Chain A
């Protein structure tokens, strides 16, 4: 059976983030009231629940917070990607996100490694991958 890749279907709230990636930019929400950076995109700040969030373009640079090398597919849809280099990235603004590392040997993966964004286009979507900076 063929398993198509699961791709994000943006919501009205998250659309600016995904549109930013399509344009080669990383956009995050920042709270006007408490200055917290917010990820994933939300209707309200998850630090203070203010509804006053403003989209800002950031560098997208950060470090590897943690990673794993999945030697078995985490779901059948990822069978062609083995080994999957799954990483949690901490952006310089302090927020964390799920991602995939590319352009790196699995043995070079390390917590704390500096990374920069790769705008990975797939079937009409753009995902935020990372590579060594």
Chain B
């Protein structure tokens, strides 16, 4: 049961991450067209090959996003899905695409996540600034509106700080180890000219001396928002033979979610990536020992620490020792987020930040990671995280 590894990623595309985007603004439909064109060209496919798409929501159309995209691009698709799993959406799009291909529904699925600014609306709709709380709902009847927002537990920083503080009380804390995650990933970003922090390495002390935002999280342990966007093409084995690069097979997947607000998580320090990664490993027949690179969703340093533990790379509560004992850079003993991650390369808007991790895993396995290439890289674990550890997904990527 499960994925048989008969679908592979054969093409990727991304826009350069930029903190202050000065280029032409584009609608998400337009970015979808551009990313699709770039990704299928990279794969060596043509538009006629595409018969599936997976998207996240698009600002142009609050409903019917897949049909809007198919129509705009002139695609005839036999599989269409809009995934609503926050930062986990991208990884979840990819396994859905692989599953649809293995079922025989389709042969080539584009999964894209635009994240460049859209044009300024000449007739902006009236927005109520008193009711904007980031990704937390402000709609009447939503539990978040009623039981999170009035207490100020809104947006992401507070929630991840609560997780880190609980972790510290349960297992102990070494702020230098958490800072090392940010510093090592920043080193990785020095091999990625598309990273917003390219040319700007940092040390552990830089992280610890940066502003405290919500104890114990410093600003350099929190992602930098930016403009960007990425896409992958997932294809059948048959089409993979036509493609230009080493096919990267999706051999395992998993997904898990229980709560929107981490307040109600059974244990704040035990994250949904555990069951998600376990499913992915079981399906692929791989174990954590087999993984050459970990591309872990990294909205915060604590997310990476808990992903390392809960995916099974070390025992629960031993993540800090593991980080201290390992070099997480692309040249190191345990390469993590080799493109810099979102901490080092920037978190592109929309759901694009979470697509950067699968794109990097693919580049590593294809041997196209240039100045940050991990030698002999055949197998990657890629994770996605949405909300406040609300939802997580995992895929295993393997080179043919």
Chain A interface residues (CB < 8 Å from chain B): 1, 3-11, 14, 40, 65-78, 81, 84, 86, 88, 96-100, 110-112, 125, 127
Tell me whether A4 and B130 are in contact in the complex, defined as CB-CB below 8 angstroms, given that A10-B146, A74-B153, A98-B151 are known contacts. Answer: yes
* B150 lies within 8 A of A40 (CB): no
Contacts of B132 in A (CB 8 A): 75
Interface residue count on the B side (C-beta < 8 Å): 41
- Cβ-Cβ contact count across A and B, 8 Å cutoff: 117
* Closest Cβ neighbor of B266 among chain A residues: A96
- Report if B129 contacts A (CB, 8 A): yes
Tell me whether A8 and B165 are in contact in the complex, defined as CB-CB below 8 angstroms, given that A65-B268, A70-B158 are known contacts. Answer: no
* A68 lies within 8 A of B150 (CB): no
Q: Roughly how many angstroms separate A4 CA and B214 CA in the complex, as a whole number?
A: 23
Contacts of B130 in A (CB 8 A): 3-4, 6, 77
Known: A5-B150, A7-B150, A71-B215. 8 other contacts (CB 8 A): A70-B214, A86-B152, A86-B214, A88-B162, A96-B263, A98-B153, A100-B151, A111-B166
Tell me whether A70 and B162 are in contact in the complex, defined as CB-CB below 8 angstroms, given that A6-B130, A9-B146, A98-B147 are known contacts. Answer: no
* Closest Cβ neighbor of A96 among chain B residues: B263
* A3 lies within 8 A of B165 (CB): no
* B153 lies within 8 A of A86 (CB): yes
Q: Roughly how many angstroms separate A75 CA and B161 CA in the complex, as a whole number?
A: 15
- Report if B169 contacts A (CB, 8 A): yes
A78 CB to closest chain B CB (Å) equals 5
* A111 lies within 8 A of B165 (CB): yes
* B162 lies within 8 A of A67 (CB): yes
Tell me whether A97 and B147 are in contact in the complex, defined as CB-CB below 8 angstroms, given that A3-B129, A65-B268 are known contacts. Answer: yes
Tell me whether A66 and B166 are in contact in the complex, defined as CB-CB below 8 angstroms, given that A8-B146, A98-B151 are known contacts. Answer: yes
